[in-house]
Structure 1
Amino acid sequence: MPDLITALDIESKTFSRAIRGYDPDQVDEFLDHLAETLRLMGQQFSDLEREKMCLEEQLKEYNNLKDTLQETLLMAQKSAEAKNDAAKQEADAIISEARAKGERIVFEAMNERDRHRRDAARFSDMKRVFKSDMAALLTKFSSLIDSIEDDVDVTQEITVVEEHQAE
């Protein structure tokens, strides 16, 4: 890489005098202007270098922040998925438990219904037996009553015969 000319190089440069050369005052003025321009450009370059370094540092910070945000977002997504999966599992468990409970309630209700049907059938049988027994008892009482009336008639006839005999 060739050596770069600095503002100091321009200011300190001297030329030999020639008879028909350029006007030394104009050359000096131009060189002064060129030196000042180079000094300003050097200053701007230094400023731009510092700004570039600051911007690069900020870029590193932003990249670190971006990486952190991406990791955080990924963790949040995983956490949300885990919570969603856990909630789904809990919901499935609740639904399964509710189904089992519902089936148990239906089973118990059916057993209760069957028990009531058996009780109703037993009571119906008891009613039928009671009616039959009551009818038999009433028939027996009717027979007894009829036989008592016959006995009363017989007793009255015996009394009438005894009265006739006594006379």
Structure 2
Amino acid sequence: MRAVGALSTIRRRAISMKVTALEIRQRVFALNFRGYDPAEVDTFLELVASQIEQLMKDNIELRQALAWQQHDLERIRRGEDDWKKALLTVQQVNDDLIQRTQQRAQAILKEAERQAQRMLQAAEKGRQALAHDVHVLTRQKLRLRSQLRSLLEQHLALLEAQEGETEEQGADDGPIAVFDVAEVPQR
């Protein structure tokens, strides 16, 4: 029973403390009359020490690899955050550019509409002025035609009156030209 108690004490101490390969190699056990074979114990302890030494090296390498992986992961996360920030910035710039472009397009469209309205108003004024000018010129043409006809009729009456006087005086003075109203060009 004592051996079992000693074993459980050793297990508890082994669990509670870290044992290095060097400690295992340097461990000395007391010899008693019916004890274990020292060569066998030494061989076993050397095997355990070698395995613990290898496990410790593997553990150190794994911790270093884990540290590098964590470092890489952190760098990737920072890079991802940077990319997210850059993407968000690009999206904001894009949205701002679209908004400014739409505002500029609306301003250009409104200005074009104002210019078109001004041009239509100017064209309408020009059309009205031309219509007025055509009306005035048509009235002037009719008035001038009427005045010309009246003048020609007066001259014709005057000529006919002179012709009558000439016939009364005699044909001594020579031929007088008589114009027919039908021969006067009309416009």
State the TM bucket, normalised to the shorter chain.
0.7 to 0.9
Question: TM-score when scaled to structure 2?
Answer: 0.75
- Name 1:104's counterpart in structure 2: 118
Output the CA distance in 1 between the equivalents of 2:17 and 2:36. Answer: 26
What CA distance in whole angstroms lies between the structure 2 residues aligned with 1:119 and 1:85?
A: 50
1:14-33 alignment runs, 5 A limit: 14-18=28-32, 20-33=34-47
User: Where do residues 16-165 of structure 1 align in structure 2 (5 Å cutoff)?
Assistant: 16-18=30-32, 20-156=34-170
SS at match of 2:28: coil
Secondary structure of 1:5's match?
coil
- Indicate the percent of aligned positions where both proteins have the same amino acid: 24
Q: SS of the residue aligned with 1:4?
A: coil
Identify, as 1 or 2, the structure richer in helix.
1
Report how far residue 20 of structure 1 moved. 5.0
> Which whole-Å CA distance do the structure 2 matches of 1:100 and 1:4 have between them?
89
Unaligned residue ranges in structure 2 (runs of 5+): 1-14, 172-187
Q: Write the distance in 2 (CA, Å) between the matches of 1:136 and 1:119.
A: 25
CA distance in 1: counterparts of 2:70 and 2:154, whole angstroms: 123
Show structure 1 runs of 5+ residues with no match: 158-167
In the TM superposition, what is the alpha-carbon distance from 1:19 to its structure 2 partner?
5.1
Aligned residue pairs, count = 157
- Larger relative contact order (C-alpha < 8 A, sep ≥ 6)? 1
Task: Supply the AA of the counterpart residue of 1:105.
Answer: M
Q: Which amino acid aligns with 1:60?
A: E
RMSD between aligned residues:
2.0
